[in-house]
Amino acid sequence: MEKILVIGVGWLGKQIVESLMNKGYTVAISSRSKEKLNGYGENCIKISVSFNQGNCIFSEDISQYEQVIICLPPVPAYADIIQSILSKLSPSTRIIFTSSTGIYEESAEIIKENSKIKQDHILWHAEKIIRSRTSYIILRLGGLIGPGRHPVTHLLTKPFLEGGENVVNLIHSFDICSAILHLLNDTKQQSTYNLVSPFHPLKGVYYTEAAKELAGKKLVVDYKLIEHKQVDGSKIVEELGFDYATRIDEWQTFKQNE
């Protein structure tokens, strides 16, 4: 199998790396954190990177990798960092870039990949740079949930939940990893996909149940509609036959991996 480079091995990147290794891929990882790199032992190729005013300095040549997954959260000089990373790759390298559905403007209509974008959003600037490539896939991720991570943990620290009549737009990390494995074996060259669970319960209903199931607590909800935003993640299903296999209310999947 070909070698895959994953740049950024935080909460999501770590799970992506593990899913790739479980499928037999030779995986290289890149991070600024020596602790994160050392945590993989000899199981993968480790490449350290440092950021200097938007310039990325890697400990070894990364132009050899045919497919590169960029899983970096937005940071200062983010667009410059993305540009610097791309400049060090082969022109033929295929990029899978994790963006966010947060770049969409509010809309009363169902949001699809061609819906209006917040033009000043940091991730939109990065996406435009990615689009200069010959081969890329942009994944606009919904709110992240998965092992050890669920928004209700933070919501329970607030007096009450606002916008209980809004719908949720979430994506489980299991489905993100599955989608990336699916895409690595696909021939699409320039595509953008929303990755959002097809389940869109009301926030008030969903997070009340989550509080009970995950924390044994009661959540106080203000049932008002604050924003219109329901994101459609069906394009990847229709074009590639992808299956969203993990429900957002499979509560046992939120237990932290040991």
Classify 210 in phi/psi space as left (phi over 0), alpha (psi -120 to 50) or beta: alpha
The span from the CA of 219 to the CA of 152, in Å, is: 9
Enter the tokens of residue 105.
């403007």
Within 10 A of 59 (CB to CB), how many other CB atoms are there? Answer: 12
The span from the CA of 197 to the CA of 244, in Å, is: 7
245: Cβ contacts below 8 Å, ≥ 6 apart: 174, 175, 178
Q: What is the 3-state secondary structure (H, E, C) of the chain?
A: CCEEEEECCCHHHHHHHHHHHHCCCEEEEEECCHHHHHCCCCCCEEEEEEEECCEEEECCCCCCCCEEEECCCCCCCHHHHHHHHHHCCCCCCEEEEEEEHHHECCCCCCECCCCCECCCCHHHHHHHHHCCCCCEEEEEECEEEECCECCHHHHCCCCCECCCCCECCEEEHHHHHHHHHHHHCCCCCEEEEEECCCCCCEHHHHHHHHHHHHHCCCCCECCCCCCCCCECCCHHHHHHCCCCCCCCCCHHHHCCCC
pLDDT 10s per residue in the chain (258 long)?
688 999 999 999 999 999 999 999 999 999 988 888 888 877 899 999 998 888 899 999 999 999 999 999 998 899 999 999 999 999 999 999 999 999 999 998 999 999 999 999 999 999 999 999 999 999 999 999 999 999 999 999 999 999 999 999 999 999 999 999 999 999 888 999 999 999 999 999 999 999 999 999 999 999 888 878 999 999 999 999 999 999 999 999 998 754
The domain made up of 3-146+170-197+230-246 has a fold known as Rossmann fold (3.40.50)
Residue type, 125: H
Q: Where are the domains of the chain?
A: 3-146+170-197+230-246
Task: Let me know: does 195 contact 183? Beta carbons within 8 Å.
Answer: no
Give me the residue label for tokens 């924003």: 227
| Cα dist from 237 to 112, 115, 240, 246, whole Å | 13, 18, 6, 14
The span from the CA of 18 to the CA of 183, in Å, is: 16
Give me the residue label for tokens 């074009």: 239
pLDDT value, residue 43: 81
pLDDT value, residue 1: 64
pLDDT value, residue 258: 44
CA-closest candidate to residue 26, choices 5, 40, 7, 48: 5
215: Cβ contacts below 8 Å, ≥ 6 apart: 152, 153, 156
Greatest alpha-carbon span in the chain: 53
